[in-house]
Amino acid sequence: MNRIYGIGLAVGICVVYILGLRVCVRASEAPVTFNRQIAPILYKNCTTCHHPGGGGPFSLLTFDDARRRGQQIMQVTASRYMPPWLPEHGYGDFEDERRLTSEEITLIQKWVSTGMARGEAADAHPDPHYDETWTLGKPDLVLSVERPSTLRASGSDIFLNFVLPYPINQTHYVRAMEIRPGTPQVVHHANVLIDRTASWRHQHPDNWRDGVPGMELIVDAGNTFDPDSHFLFWKPDTPALVEPVGMPWRLDPGNDLILNMHLKPSGKPETVAAQIGLYFTATPPSKQPILLQLEHDSALNIPPGAREFIVEDQLKLPVDVDVLGIYPHAHYLGKDLQAYAILPNGQKTWLIWIRNWDIDRQSVYRYRKPVFLPKGTTIHMHYIYDNSRENVHNPNDPPIRVRAGNRSVDEMGHLWLQVLPVNTSPNSLDPRLLLEAAWMENRLRKEPRDTLALYNLAAAETSEDNYARAVQIYKQVVEINPKDARAWNGLGVGLENTGDWQGAQQAFQKASDADPTLIDAIFNRGKSQLDHGQISEADQSFRAVLRQSPNDASAHSGLAQALLKEENEEAAESEFAASLRIDSQNLDALEGLGQVALSQGQSAQAAEYLERAAQRAPNDSILRQQLAIAYAQLQRFSDAIQQLQQAQHLSPNDPQVHATLSQVYSANGQLPEAIAEEQEALRLNAADADGWNNLGVLEARAGNSAMARDDFEHALRIAPDHGPAKANLARLGAAAKAP
Ligand code: HEC
């Protein structure tokens, strides 16, 4: 590799510095020694990689190690080739900036030019300890690559993706992660992606265990809005990725982690057997960051020989954000990578500047202090590519035309930012939706038929309950790509919510035709069938989901609901129980078991399930009504009344709440309150014959025979064959005639 150092060095007693300043070491000055000044510099900045078994090509731990390479150390530090650090100083203030101060560089130069003394034993610093153990202690969960693969001794770099299924049947929040690549010497960097629907594994059924080649990958984000939010990036001297307090990331049953590794042959065959250690926390996230991307891949079409090919993108922020981290990314032709923000007042804020891009040294950079960017700020990406022979990294000789792509001979130009929305009011929409929509609209401005952007935009609209708009966009996607199963499924959800359930079911069917393994589509079809009275079809759909995914708690609940409607209470109960065993918080299962217990007269059991359900869904008025019935059966009238008052608050125009409340008051001997509630129920629904009959009974008990008679007659005008009203009227007549 030819390498051009920043300056020519004159080594000797007098040393030429970058600024051209000439400093001479005077004999009277205290000598620079390894033990006193040099070891601390190396231990802080170099030995994280340069230790036996580390990512660097040799160790610099001991005095002998360092002295043997003294000249070289002096050169690579003066030119700032080492430690590897790409960002320009002063263009973004980053945590763990791996950069020597000019004083430190001077000390190294003095040490080398004065003969590399070891120094006094009393000055020696304890050398840092590196071993094979986890730096944060024993992880809560260790995932290992199933089949270690062998990297050949030589040849070009390899990019491999290993799938690590998350094996636990329970959601966990990850506060820290450590990657042990097995052989750090060959792993240049590794990225971890969360595949929410195991889509990558399904796409590569034959070889996912052995590692699938590919530099970049796209994984499914699933149906709920749950955008990627964390940089899970590892490089050889990264100890462990500890997330800030309040920002753990989530892993659900059925998720896969994908380990995307950049491997470099070392001269001998090496076994790559990576492990990921995960550390959990019980506390769910209280802050929700999101990753945003700028790119313009469709503009990447670089003619051979072009020395300054520019690719730009910009994104205007719809909300205030704190930028927490940044990850610029290009392949081998990238040269000068700039990112900056233009604030609404016109002020320019640098986010990062890399003058001499080197893919082998790519990294995620975290800001020492979050960079605040107000709403209306435009973020700019400005990348310059060099496709000439002079670019020492150019993989093609002679240069050829290069476009965007996944292989290392293709090019890429991405700028990722981790941002945390700030200054948002607590009741407003999830601000990440606005960011995601702005990002996708930006992509569509560049590429109107970008189906991924259309899909994500529609998903964001769905999360905002803008179903009609979502339907419009999903229709565009399936028009461009009729085989896009996820888009058909999304279209179905949109249609269902705009009232076209027949259209919805057709869309779910199309989704299954395009991809029979997309269980969300089968599940959604089942839900729709259940809601529209097609009970045996729903039963079949949920069973089809369970054949593919036996541990799907929602499908067990769905099947149970269908069984309930088929009046197979026993089978329903066992399906609800199966659901609850998988997901102890499954709302449908808790509610369903509560309902079954109620109908079996097991009021205490019913109350217990329904209380748990109400805790999960405190704003569900129906649940509170059911819970009130259970309480009333247990003679806990004041608890029942309290639940119903809350239900009333949640749905003030539901006559049923008032009718039930009336019955509870009546059972508790509060006759006037009972009458008032029944009157209110009838005000909301005057056509309820049962209600008029009930009101009559209450009036009769209160001694208002004339009013009771009116009420029973009212009931009979609505329903002439109303048996109880007839009987009550007759009894009233008999009582009136009695002497
Ligand atoms: C992030 C890991 C890392 C850190 C930190 C690091 N190095 Fe290196 N170093 C490497 C790797 C990898 C190579 C070999 C490949 C290359 O040149 O990038 C290397 C190569 C070298 C070389 C040989 C250069 C040549 O011309 O072949 C020297 C000398 C060196 N490092 C010294 C240092 C010193 C001194 C420091 C601290 C001031 C340091 N390194 C910090 C990873 C690191």
Range of the domain at 185: 141-281
Q: Mean pLDDT throughout 530-539?
A: 97
Same domain, 111 and 145: no
Which DSSP helix (H) or strand (E) runs through 709?
helix 705-718
Phi, psi for 271 (deg, rounded to 5)? -95, 130
Written in H, E and C, the secondary structure of 639-676 is HHHHHHHHHHHHCCCCHHHHHHHHHHHHHCCCHHHHHH
Q: Which protein residues are within 6 Å of ligand 1, measured from CB?
A: 45-46, 48-50, 55-57, 69, 72-73, 76-77, 82-84, 98, 100, 236-237
Nearest C-alpha to atom 7 of ligand 1 is from which residue? Answer: 83
Higher pLDDT, 316 or 131: 316
Q: How far is the CA of 22 from the centre of ligand 1 (A)?
A: 27
The residue among 355, 308, 298 whose CA lies nearest residue 328 is: 355
Three-class secondary structure of residue 162 per DSSP = strand
Cα 531 to Cα 533: distance, rounded to the nearest angstrom:
6
Indicate whether 671 belongs to any domain: no
* pLDDT digit string, tens, across residues 356-395: 999 888 899 999 999 999 999 999 999 999 999 999 999 8
Find the helix or strand (DSSP H, E) in which 559 lies.
helix 553-565
Pocket test for ligand 1, best of 2, 49, 75 (most atoms within 8 A of CB): 49
- Are 343 and 371 within 8 A, CB to CB? no
Do residues 260 and 236 both lie within one domain? yes
Contact 31, 112 (CB under 8 A): no
Average pLDDT rounded to a whole number, residues 430-438: 90
Return the structure tokens found at 578: 């199966």
Closest CA to 661 of 42, 191, 646: 646
pTM for the full model? 0.75
**Residues 88, 179: one domain?**
no
> Which of 54, 89, 123 is the C-terminal boundary of a domain?
123
Residue 12 has pLDDT above 50, yes or no: no
Query: pLDDT tens digits for 53-71?
Result: 888 889 999 999 999 999 9
Instruction: State the distance from the centre of ligand 1 to the C-alpha of 74, rounded, in angstroms.
Output: 12
Query: Do 310 and 214 have their domain in common?
Result: no
> Which pLDDT score is estimated for 53?
80
Residue 216 lies in a domain: yes
Distance between CA atoms of residues 263 and 190, nearest Å: 9
**Confidence (pLDDT) at 153:** 84
On whether residue 247 sits in a domain, the answer given is: yes
Q: What is the pLDDT of residues 512-533, one digit of tens each?
A: 999 998 889 999 999 999 999 9
- Token pair, residue 370, equals 């979050």
CB 458 within 8 A of CB 312: no
181 shares its domain with 104? no
Q: Say if residues 145 and 163 touch (Cβ distance below 8 Å).
A: no
**Atom 2, ligand 1: which residue's CA is nearest?**
49
The pLDDT value recorded for residue 7 is 34
What does DSSP assign to residue 135? T
Which of 46, 116, 359, 364, when mutated, tests ligand 1's pocket best, judged by the most ligand atoms within 8 Å of its CB? 46
pLDDT of residue 4: 35
Flag whether 582 is in a domain: no
Q: Which of 442, 460, 492 is the last residue of a domain?
A: 442
CB-based contact 56:74 (threshold 8 Å): no
Element (H, E) at 415: strand 413-421
Tell whether 52 is covered by a domain: yes
To test the ligand 1 pocket, which listed residue (1, 2, 47, 76) has its Cβ within 8 A of the most ligand atoms?
Answer: 76
What letter represents residue 400's amino acid? I
Mean pLDDT in residue range 521-547: 96
CA-nearest residue, atom 33 of ligand 1:
82
pLDDT above 90 covers a percentage of the chain that reads: 70
Expressed in angstroms and rounded, the spacing between residue 84 Cα and the centre of ligand 1 is 7
Query: Using one digit for the tens of pLDDT, what is the confidence trace for 653-703?
Result: 999 999 999 999 999 999 999 999 999 999 999 999 999 999 999 999 999
**Amino acid sitting at position 321:** V
Supply the mean pLDDT for the chain.
90
CATH code of the domain containing 355: 2.60.120.230
Give the pLDDT score at 3.
37
166 with 237, same domain: the answer is yes
Residue 215 Cα to ligand 1 midpoint, Å, equals: 24
What angle (nearest 5°) sits at the alpha carbon of residue 606, between those of residues 600 and 611? 165
Yes or no: say if 282 and 173 are a contact pair by the CB < 8 Å rule: yes
382 and 411, same domain (yes or no) = yes
Which residue owns the Cα nearest ligand 1 atom 13? 56
- Same-domain pairing of 112 and 153: no
pLDDT value of position 23? 42
Task: Give the integer Cα–Cα distance in Å for 265 and 714.
Answer: 90
- Residue of minimum CA distance from atom 36 in ligand 1: 46
What is the Cα–Cα distance from 622 to 587, expressed in whole angstroms?
13
Distance between CA atoms of 337 and 395, rounded to whole angstroms?
19
Secondary structure of residue 51 in the 3-state scheme: coil
In a domain, 603, yes or no: no
b (16+ CB within 10 A) / e for 545-582: bbeebeebbbbbbbbbbbbbeeeeeeebbebbebbbeb
CA of 493 relative to ligand 1 center, distance in Å:
54
Res 567: pLDDT: 94
At residue 448, the pLDDT reads 92
| Residue in 350, 288, 290, 299 with CA at minimum distance from that of residue 317 | 290
| 436 Cβ contact partners less than 8 Å away, ≥ 6 residues apart | 225, 227, 290, 456, 457, 460
**Residue 486: its H or E element:** helix 485-497
Closest alpha carbon to 246 in 420, 367, 94, 432: 420
Is residue 2 pLDDT above 80, yes or no? no
Ligand 1 centroid to 78 CA: how many Å?
13
Q: How far is the CA of 83 from the centre of ligand 1 (A)?
A: 6
With H, G, I as helix, E, B as strand and everything else as coil, classify residue 702.
Answer: coil
When mean pLDDT is compared across 68-72, 415-419, 494-498, 546-550, the lowest value belongs to 546-550
Q: Above 70 in pLDDT, residue 551?
A: yes
Q: Residue 619: its pLDDT value, please?
A: 92
CA of residue 162 to ligand 1 center, whole Å: 28
**228 and 358 assigned to the same domain:** no
pLDDT given at position 482: 96
Find, among 464, 461, 460, 439, the residue nearest to 450 by Cα.
439
Residues 274 and 366 in one domain: no
pLDDT in tens, 217-261: 777 666 566 777 899 988 877 778 999 999 999 998 889 999 998
Position 735 confidence tier, pLDDT thresholds 50, 70, 90: low
- 186: domain CATH number is 2.60.120
Q: Which helix (H) or strand (E) holds 113?
A: helix 102-113
Residue 83 class from Cβ within 10 Å (0-12 exposed, 13-18 middle, 19+ buried)? buried
DSSP-assigned letter for residue 732: H
Query: Which residues make beta-bridge pairs with 94?
Result: 367
Tell whether 172 and 90 lie within a shared domain. Answer: no
The C-alpha atoms of residue 28 and residue 459 are separated, in whole angstroms, by 72
> Region 455-474: what's the mean pLDDT?
92
**pLDDT at 738 exceeding the cut of 50:** no
Q: Number of folded domains in the chain?
A: 3
In terms of domains, do 146 and 214 share one? yes
In a domain, 192, yes or no: yes
718 in a structural domain: no
Distance CA 339, CA 354 (A): 9
Average pLDDT estimate for 178-193: 85
Do residues 346 and 378 make contact, with C-beta atoms less than 8 angstroms apart?
Answer: no
State which of 421, 442, 463 marks the end of a domain. Answer: 442
- 45 Cα nearest atom in ligand 1: 37
> How many A from CA of 423 to the centre of ligand 1?
43
Q: What is the percentage of the chain residues whose pLDDT exceeds 70?
A: 94
